[in-house]
Structure 1
Amino acid sequence: MALINKIREKSGIAVTVIAISLILFIVGGDLLGPNSMFGGNNNQTVGEIAGKEIDIKDFQSRLDVMRQNYEAQTGRSAGEQEIVALREQAWNQLVIDIAYKEEYEKLGLQVTDDELVDMVQGNHISPAIQQAFGNPTTGAFDKSAVVNYLKNLKTLPLPQQQSWAAFETSLREDRLRQKYENILRQSTYVTKAESEKEYVAQNTKASLRYLYVPFYSIADTTVKVTDSQLEAYLNKHRDEYKGADTRTIQYVSFSVVPAKDDSIALYNEIKTLARGLASAPNDSAYARMNSDIPLPMDMSYANMSDQLKEAVTTFVPGGVYGPYREGDTYFIYKYNGTKKDSLYTARASHILIRPENPSDSAKAAARQRAEGILNQIRGGASFEALAATNSADPGSAQRGGDLGYFQNNGGMVKPFEDAVFSMNGTGLVNRLVESQFGFHLIKVTDAKTNTLYRVATIAKTIAPSQATRDDAYRKADEFANSVKTKAQFDEAVKKDNALVVSTANRIPETATNINAIQNAREVVRWAFNDKTDLNDVSQVFETDEQYIVAVLTGKTDKDKAKVDDFRDELTAKVRSQLKAEQITAKLKGASGDLEAIAKKYGAGALVETAEDISLATGFLSSAGFDPIALGKAFGLKQGQKTGVFTGENGVFIVELTGRTDAPQIADYTPYKTQLVQALESRTSFLLNEAIRDDAKIEDRRAKFF
């Protein structure tokens, strides 16, 4: 009997041991992982917002719901990039729920159920609802479609019901934020004195002569900057140089490049697909099923590649053409003729002349300038050259005014579209076109057309075979196993001329890419791992089409900003200061006119003039926009000359040769409107920054993802 009792006792212990073992087996990853309690990190908070800790499990639950909604709406699984975006969305939602909610409650802001109904199916429909239930053909909103959808909502699958509930929640949150921002926006106020000051800054004109010695006139190599000088500058300007948690790495990459055999295999596959495309009863379905890149069946000439544009004019309906190679992709086309589109496409260039301000006199001056340029073009001057030097649209100016292809669907402002699409053929629009942006001079470079080419396309990209990938990995692995320190890393690179060392400076902890390398999150996580020390060499990491071996070469800490964190910027600042001291010492006490002073100074000193410039937009030829120099100049009386002073990028002596004060006006409303609009346009951004700053947000997501 005693023996039986002993067995029972022992069996109880055995059962307990087995149970504990099973629990450890099941949850071992959670308990023993790098972020676990027993793995050395019992902090399971993904961050903190307004004093509230966010548990990783709560965050993951919210993320899972968003992911389910996304997949229910799109009908496909979320990829890595989508998950990264959803993770960011989940975090921002938490910021709104916690930090913003406090502000809403202080003001008693809310969105009632009746208001939500009005937004969804009432008299004040939300733009999001209008977009979701717009007619796919005409774009027109149909309220009855919303009503019918809601009537049938309970019969829809549960994921769709949950998705709609989440959508309505987002409508409430968006409306709350709009209310809050509108309160702040309505509080924007500009005084008459501020309006008058802006008017004077824009309309007072000055003419200057100035001596300018740019910093670049002294070679950097002749100015030695010491660490003690850098340290002193940093200590004096610490509020300008905020610390950050970053890492710097050097790395070598082993590219997975398709081999010759891979290209031959794909070329043979393309020829087989060409025969299949030629005989397919439904060529568009066949093309979609076999193409690596989805391409439209109907293409406008504007949307074609340059190679296809050149070839398509020789195609015969029913024919199969190709393969054409562009980069690593082969294309084959089956041509089925043309059809007409409801929209026209054209290509044009423009020169934009924008008035300096909304006043009638400024508009008249801009019109006069635009007409002068138009007359030059009529006389044979180059439109492209004049666009590069005169257009107020910097994006197109550097391309000679080219705006590319566009359609008559509202993508351009209406007066511009009307002018382009009223042209038959190409050439200069022989008049000025005025829009809210200013005066446009327009040249149609590709005539309007509504012809669509019906082309079934199969695109196949050369992909490396598994053997090619294995060979690249073998080389990377051999390299990683042969080096354990930075010195060994450098020595191994010297021995292999095929390897190139790249540097990624100051990578933030949340980075997903390194330089041009996509999906490099694992490299970043390694660099920020507490166990990774300076000069440690990594294992092999696989990224998009290459393998990476990295060495950690630098760390910065947000709480300990050091000279090395900002060495290049600090060196440039201190070197400029030392150059300014040299130039000032050489100019100090100089007398005579500016030419005499420049001659005495010697090489590097420039004497230039600036005519009829304003304080708001003044531009100096060699010095560019220099607010210090402009401020000094507009503080002078006519005929006065400043002493030697340091500007943004050099040292000056400025003389005011002429000044025309802005005439008195009775109404400063246009300038008040300008200032108010500028402030209002920044309300959303500034509000978001202020709330986040006040919430003292700590984002630790990078420790988990």
Structure 2
Amino acid sequence: MATLQTIRSKGPLLVIVIGLALFAFIAGDAWKILQPHQGAQNVGEVNGESLSAQDYQKMVEELSEVYKLTSGLNSLSDEQLTGVKDQVWRTYVENQLIAAQAEKLGLTVTKAEIQAIIDEGTHPLLAQTPFRNPQTGAFDKDMLKKFLVDYANLGKSQMPAQYVEYYQKLGTFWQFVEKTLAQSTLAEKYQNLIVKSLISNPVSAEDAFKSRTEQSDMLLAGVPYTSINDSTIQITDDEVKALYNEKKEQFKQLVETRDIRYIDVHVVPSDADRQAVLEEVTTASNQLSETNSDYAAFVRANGSSVNYSDIPVNKSVLPLDVAARLDSASVNEVYGPYYNQSDDSYNTFKIIAKTTAPDSIQVRQIQVYSETIDKTKTLADSIYNALKGGADFAEVAKIYGQPGEAAWISARSWEGADLDAENAKYVSTLISQPVNELANLEIGQGRLILQVMNKKSMQPKYKVAVVKRPVEFSKETYNAAYNKFSQFVAQNTTLESLEKNVEESGYSLIPRSDFSSAEHNVGGIKSTREALKWVFDAKPGEVSPLYECGENDHLMVVALERVNKAGYRNINRVADMLKDEIRRDKKAEKIMGEMKNFNSVAQVKEMKDAVSDTVKHVTFSASAYIAATGRSEQAVSAVAAKTAVNQTSAPIKGNAGVYMIQVYGKENGTEEFDAKKEEETLSNTAANIVARQLINDLYQNAGVVDNRYLYF
């Protein structure tokens, strides 16, 4: 699309969007979200209904466009795109789960209900749209109505093509909002049906109030479990099995996972690579002092990671190491070469110019197009002369289907961007144009009549030619690492062999348990999708091929150790955890047996390895923190709440030891009891817990299958 002629000066409707995304310097479809797939592959399944790869792709593309529009972005990073993919899947699954239940109950959402939500204008989703009042930031239904009328008449309008394109995108965005409103309203109805059945009562309210406000001060003494050697505690298989059966539901695994072990080789520059970069930057530094023109070509030719801008920029746009050294260099002076540790680079730069320029410019404009370049010029000249002669700018703009209203443009919209010739020409005009004067600017095949209305926040700006060369490994260094690792992989084709020889070869075999197919990479390394697919197609003990991954700077091999099927985890996988709990219980039983005839904290203090403390302001609703053992103990809080002043408790089995307490004081907080408020708080708390658990319970019974890793 045409570059800076895409500025969206469409009046109040687009004021917010103008602030978010004023420029579209690069055509938007520079990347594809997902590769097209042939056939009818399914990426997942919910309640027996499959989601095709094509439909999933469309949903990802839809949400990506929404994200770009609302965030003012032209494209998404890999991380942002990954987040979009996951959000699409989560939303799809939750909507399917809710829809199935709603259908059974006869719950629906009508168009009238959606319209009522829009008319009310308080739904949080509406506040994320561009249809917001510029002064208040609140959703403005009148702005929406105006847009919908304009959108409906789009085919009859005389708007320039790029305006039509933007309105079409905004129309698609609003359709997404309406769909999302319907889905969220249905979910809210279903959840309300469940959570509104949860009510409190005056007795529970009073008890909750006391548990939160009544405080106890106490003396405490106890014996930590660590005082008993683990080797003295005997644990049988029958005991482990019995506890496993008791807690079996806690060990339920919803999806199949894998235990893997992998070797990740990160290729880094050699000393010779570093020296070569330093020598190249030194040469560039010498040449830079003799260069007086075409700095953009010079920095490109020298492989700089920082593009040259012929538009003066704020130093905050420059790399931090360059900005910190600007005051140490004069105009036309070359600084460097120098090494910057934070980004592992060698650098040199030259200040070409230093000036003062605005950070914000208010401008209004009229875009002019006609059938030919000559007709466009004639029409633009006519408009320009009319305005110079006193014609009203806004009225003339309306004749050509444009609002002609002034909008503030921030220098952040262009500073740091790689501007082409047209963009640079436009921005230079904005900066240099005197306030209130008109300009007739040729942009591509069209013309732009613009008038700068105001400038503010004048700041020091710089033109700086920067040669920044990150230190990178050479082809020879990479080949040496590859050859060494590939030889190791070829000689160790089983997990057993890897374990035996990995340390001797200088590598590390990294364990990873419960690796899920829903993850996007192995070991947090980019571009490991093929390795991920291998993991879920391999057999235990197998070793993968060597994968080149990351940003072409990692080598990886993966071994499959174990397959963890969906369902209850094998008792052997949780045996150590169960033994820890049994061991703790047996230690507690032993210590409590020694305390059974005690009736004072002083007696506990006399025990071997005993610890003691004074603990204040303990409430039933919060776990007491025992500094002597470094653990929080809910059992101590509960007993303290029920122990009278000057009374001593029985032995208390805690998380880190066995305790006895003597309460020496109690007091109530200053808060007054409000039964209605307390009941409402209890109901809301219960509702929040149920709402969080609801989707999880539905998920477990829906046969959810996630096969996205096979395709995306």
Same fold (TM over 0.5): yes
The answer to whether residue 594 in structure 2 is matched with residue 579 in structure 1 is no
Match of 1:609 among 583, 595, 614: 614
Query: In the TM superposition, what is the alpha-carbon distance from 1:170 to its structure 2 partner?
Result: 2.1
Match of 2:499 among 481, 490, 503: 490
In structure 2, do the counterparts of structure 1 residues 160 and 568 end up closer, same or farther at CA, with 3 Å as the change threshold?
farther
The answer to whether residue 508 in structure 2 is matched with residue 500 in structure 1 is yes
Q: Tell me, what secondary structure is at the counterpart of 1:631? A: helix
Query: In the TM superposition, what is the alpha-carbon distance from 1:482 to its structure 2 partner?
Result: 0.8
CA–CA distance in structure 1, aligned partners of residues 459 and 288 of structure 2: 27
1:215-260 per-position Cα deviation (integer Å, ceiling 9, x unaligned): 2333445545555543332222111122352222222233211223
Amino acid at match of 1:541: Y
How do 1:279-294 and structure 2 match up within 5 A? 291-292=304-305
CA–CA distance in structure 1, aligned partners of residues 114 and 616 of structure 2: 62
| RMSD of Structure 2 on Structure 1 (CA) | 4.7
Q: Specify the alignment match of 1:460 in structure 2.
A: 469
Query: In the TM superposition, what is the alpha-carbon distance from 1:64 to its structure 2 partner?
Result: 6.2
Q: Is the 8 A contact 2:225 2:658 kept in 1?
A: yes
Q: Is the 8 A contact 1:476 1:549 kept in 2?
A: no
In structure 2, do the counterparts of structure 1 residues 55 and 222 end up closer, same or farther at CA, with 3 Å as the change threshold?
same
CA–CA distance in structure 1, aligned partners of residues 695 and 293 of structure 2: 56
In structure 2, do the counterparts of structure 1 residues 519 and 277 end up closer, same or farther at CA, with 3 Å as the change threshold?
farther
Q: Is the 8 A contact 1:47 1:53 kept in 2?
A: yes
In structure 2, do the counterparts of structure 1 residues 76 and 502 end up closer, same or farther at CA, with 3 Å as the change threshold?
same
The answer to whether residue 296 in structure 2 is matched with residue 246 in structure 1 is no
Q: Tell me, what secondary structure is at the counterpart of 1:565? A: helix
Identity of aligned residues (%): 19
Question: 624-633 or 218-227: which moved more?
Answer: 218-227
Q: Is the 8 A contact 2:252 2:568 kept in 1?
A: no
The answer to whether residue 226 in structure 2 is matched with residue 211 in structure 1 is no
Question: 110-119 or 469-478: which moved more?
Answer: 110-119
Match of 1:94 among 82, 92, 95: 92
In structure 2, do the counterparts of structure 1 residues 126 and 594 end up closer, same or farther at CA, with 3 Å as the change threshold?
closer
How do 1:408-423 and structure 2 match up within 5 A? none
The answer to whether residue 51 in structure 2 is matched with residue 54 in structure 1 is yes
In structure 2, do the counterparts of structure 1 residues 227 and 269 end up closer, same or farther at CA, with 3 Å as the change threshold?
farther
Q: Specify the alignment match of 2:653 in structure 1.
A: 646
Q: Is the 8 A contact 1:223 1:575 kept in 2?
A: yes
Amino acid at match of 1:176: A
Q: Tell me, what secondary structure is at the counterpart of 1:94? A: helix
CA–CA distance in structure 2, aligned partners of residues 46 and 638 of structure 1: 63
Q: Tell me, what secondary structure is at the counterpart of 1:609? A: strand
In structure 2, do the counterparts of structure 1 residues 342 and 647 end up closer, same or farther at CA, with 3 Å as the change threshold?
farther
Q: Specify the alignment match of 1:563 in structure 2.
A: 571
Amino acid at match of 1:481: A
How do 1:182-193 and structure 2 match up within 5 A? 183=189, 184=191, 187=196, 190-193=200-203
Q: Specify the alignment match of 1:417 in structure 2.
A: none
Amino acid at match of 1:115: Q
Q: Tell me, what secondary structure is at the counterpart of 2:252? A: coil
CA–CA distance in structure 1, aligned partners of residues 586 and 355 of structure 2: 69
TM-score by length of 2: 0.64
Query: In the TM superposition, what is the alpha-carbon distance from 1:632 to its structure 2 partner?
Result: 1.4
Query: In the TM superposition, what is the alpha-carbon distance from 1:282 to its structure 2 partner?
Result: 8.3
TM-score by length of 1: 0.65
How do 1:88-487 and structure 2 match up within 5 A? 88-95=86-93, 97-102=95-100, 106-112=106-112, 115=115, 131-132=129-130, 143=143, 146=147, 150=151, 153-154=154-155, 163-180=169-186, 183=189, 184=191, 187=196, 190-220=200-230, 222-223=232-233, 225=235, 227-243=237-253, 244-271=255-282, 276=288, 291-292=304-305, 297-299=313-315, 305=320, 311-316=325-330, 319-322=333-336, 323-326=338-341, 327-334=343-350, 454=462, 456=464, 459-487=468-496
1:513-543 per-position Cα deviation (integer Å, ceiling 9, x unaligned): 33443443332322221xx222222210122
In structure 2, do the counterparts of structure 1 residues 103 and 261 end up closer, same or farther at CA, with 3 Å as the change threshold?
same
CA–CA distance in structure 2, aligned partners of residues 565 and 318 of structure 1: 68
In structure 2, do the counterparts of structure 1 residues 694 and 56 end up closer, same or farther at CA, with 3 Å as the change threshold?
same
Provide the aligned length of Structure 1 versus Structure 2: 551
Query: In the TM superposition, what is the alpha-carbon distance from 1:318 to its structure 2 partner?
Result: 5.3
Query: In the TM superposition, what is the alpha-carbon distance from 1:113 to its structure 2 partner?
Result: 10
The answer to whether residue 556 in structure 2 is matched with residue 548 in structure 1 is yes
Q: Is the 8 A contact 2:591 2:658 kept in 1?
A: yes
Amino acid at match of 2:480: D
In structure 2, do the counterparts of structure 1 residues 247 and 130 end up closer, same or farther at CA, with 3 Å as the change threshold?
closer
CA–CA distance in structure 1, aligned partners of residues 480 and 292 of structure 2: 38
Q: Specify the alignment match of 1:698 in structure 2.
A: 705
Structure 1 residues without counterparts, runs of 5 or longer: 1-28, 37-43, 344-448
Q: Is the 8 A contact 1:298 1:455 kept in 2?
A: no
The answer to whether residue 627 in structure 2 is matched with residue 621 in structure 1 is yes
The answer to whether residue 520 in structure 2 is matched with residue 512 in structure 1 is yes
In structure 2, do the counterparts of structure 1 residues 582 and 69 end up closer, same or farther at CA, with 3 Å as the change threshold?
same
Query: In the TM superposition, what is the alpha-carbon distance from 1:493 to its structure 2 partner?
Result: 2.2
Query: In the TM superposition, what is the alpha-carbon distance from 1:171 to its structure 2 partner?
Result: 0.6
Query: In the TM superposition, what is the alpha-carbon distance from 1:678 to its structure 2 partner?
Result: 5.1
Match of 1:528 among 536, 540, 547: 536
1:307-365 per-position Cα deviation (integer Å, ceiling 9, x unaligned): 6686455344554434332242344455566869989xxxxxxxxxxxxxxxxxxxxxx
CA–CA distance in structure 2, aligned partners of residues 284 and 291 of structure 1: 10
Q: Is the 8 A contact 1:510 1:702 kept in 2?
A: yes
Query: In the TM superposition, what is the alpha-carbon distance from 1:133 to its structure 2 partner?
Result: 6.1
CA–CA distance in structure 2, aligned partners of residues 694 and 68 of structure 1: 33
How do 1:15-54 and structure 2 match up within 5 A? 44-54=41-51
CA–CA distance in structure 2, aligned partners of residues 138 and 162 of structure 1: 26
1:58-102 per-position Cα deviation (integer Å, ceiling 9, x unaligned): 445655666788899989776654554443344234335533334
Q: Tell me, what secondary structure is at the counterpart of 2:489? A: helix
Q: Is the 8 A contact 1:201 1:614 kept in 2?
A: yes
In structure 2, do the counterparts of structure 1 residues 263 and 201 end up closer, same or farther at CA, with 3 Å as the change threshold?
same
Query: In the TM superposition, what is the alpha-carbon distance from 1:558 to its structure 2 partner?
Result: 1.8
Question: 634-643 or 190-199: which moved more?
Answer: 190-199
1:281-307 per-position Cα deviation (integer Å, ceiling 9, x unaligned): 687998799653689942559x985x6
Q: Tell me, what secondary structure is at the counterpart of 1:625? A: strand
Query: In the TM superposition, what is the alpha-carbon distance from 1:562 to its structure 2 partner?
Result: 0.9
In structure 2, do the counterparts of structure 1 residues 342 and 686 end up closer, same or farther at CA, with 3 Å as the change threshold?
farther
Q: Is the 8 A contact 1:339 1:453 kept in 2?
A: yes
Query: In the TM superposition, what is the alpha-carbon distance from 1:592 to its structure 2 partner?
Result: 5.1
Q: Is the 8 A contact 2:495 2:559 kept in 1?
A: yes
In structure 2, do the counterparts of structure 1 residues 582 and 309 end up closer, same or farther at CA, with 3 Å as the change threshold?
farther
In structure 2, do the counterparts of structure 1 residues 230 and 134 end up closer, same or farther at CA, with 3 Å as the change threshold?
same
In structure 2, do the counterparts of structure 1 residues 98 and 127 end up closer, same or farther at CA, with 3 Å as the change threshold?
closer
Structure 2 residues without counterparts, runs of 5 or longer: 1-36, 361-456
Q: Specify the alignment match of 2:365 in structure 1.
A: none
Q: Tell me, what secondary structure is at the counterpart of 2:662? A: strand
In structure 2, do the counterparts of structure 1 residues 630 and 257 end up closer, same or farther at CA, with 3 Å as the change threshold?
same
Q: Tell me, what secondary structure is at the counterpart of 1:619? A: strand
In structure 2, do the counterparts of structure 1 residues 199 and 214 end up closer, same or farther at CA, with 3 Å as the change threshold?
same
Q: Specify the alignment match of 1:21 in structure 2.
A: none
In structure 2, do the counterparts of structure 1 residues 338 and 588 end up closer, same or farther at CA, with 3 Å as the change threshold?
farther
